[in-house]
Amino acid sequence: MSSRSPKVSIGLPVYNGERYLAETIDSILAQTYTDFELIISDNCSTDGSREICRHYVERDSRVRFFPSDVNKGWAGNYRRVFELARGPYFRWAPSDDVFAPESVAACVEVLDAHPDAVLCYPKTILIDGTGSIIEPYEDNLNLRSDSPVVRFRMASDQIGLVNVIYGLMRTEQVRQTGLIRHYPGSDIIFLIELSLYGQFLEINRPLFFRRMHEQASSSMKSALPKLQAYLNPSRKGRFFAYYWQVFFDQVVAVLRGPLNVAERAQLLYFLVRRAISSRDVYLRELIGLAQSLLLRPRQS
């Protein structure tokens, strides 16, 4: 790898991903746009993922590999690859999806031409475990409004499978957010927060192939405590007030975002009204929190 920083950093977090990992890496290294680094962080895998990664390190100088002997959880691994990024543009790449060869080039062209945009993403095709097409997916997050209030509210109402998190983003703006947090759905909260910093632009071409299979994190149907442990093993067995955490993180995002006083007030009002409309779940979580505190064993 040259000492010069690349224009694009691609972060690939992997955990026991040997089934599709080589295909994913091949699709990244085959990009027509070549000024990038591929950062792979292995999260204490027990399968053949590390051997696959080391093979690509020897084969291509753009690949940087960072194995970990401690399970940082899904969220920690996603944060790690971003923190290692050196380029002004950044993209996450899951270890089981596929990118068309023109994907990076097309996104770079759009961001270069639109300085007010913070994220550019192509259309998505859903594929199955064998690579066969399931169907096109409309992400519906083409947020071209100049108003951060409008973008934030539209992102909150329209976000679905969160495919756009694998679009190309401006690294500087991403660093100003709370990134991926350690709870389920925090990728949604990250994208909603990022919308405060600029436009999301969609490329009207299907250049991202999202694999839907039984081992994918998006396919997990686990109860919240088990899913929470997958995202952050250090919180295993601890009560988690999900809705309160989401509300708190969005309030913090609005308070630190690049907003004027009126915009900040509008979005805080929006969040409070939505919380009031769902007050039953917030009350249940307060009761659950109180019960967990009462049942917690006392230390001698």
124-155 pLDDT per residue, tens? 999 999 999 999 999 999 999 999 999 999 99
Which one of 3.90.550.10, 3.30.465.10, 3.10.20.30, 3.40.50.300 gives the CATH number of domain 8-219? 3.90.550.10
| pLDDT (0 to 100) of residue 300 | 46
Alpha helices in 3-133 (DSSP H): 21-29, 49-59, 73-83, 103-113
Is the pLDDT at 218 greater than 70? The verdict is: no
Is the pLDDT at 237 greater than 80? The verdict is: no
| pLDDT (0 to 100) of residue 219 | 46
| pLDDT (0 to 100) of residue 232 | 54
pTM of the model as a whole = 0.88
Alpha helices in the chain (DSSP H): 21-29, 49-59, 73-83, 103-113, 148-158, 171-175, 186-194, 224-231, 242-256, 261-277, 279-295
The rounded distance, in Å, linking the Cα atoms of 137 and 126 is 7
The rounded distance, in Å, linking the Cα atoms of 263 and 274 is 17
Q: Which whole number is the average pLDDT over 264-274? A: 97
Residue boundaries of the structural domains of the chain: 8-219, 239-295
| pLDDT (0 to 100) of residue 295 | 62
| pLDDT (0 to 100) of residue 50 | 96
- Residue of 242, 243, 264, 241 lying closest to 253 (CA atoms): 264
In this structure, are residues 209 and 99 in contact, taking their beta carbons and an 8 Å threshold? Answer: yes
Classified as helix, coil or strand, 257 is coil
| pLDDT (0 to 100) of residue 131 | 92
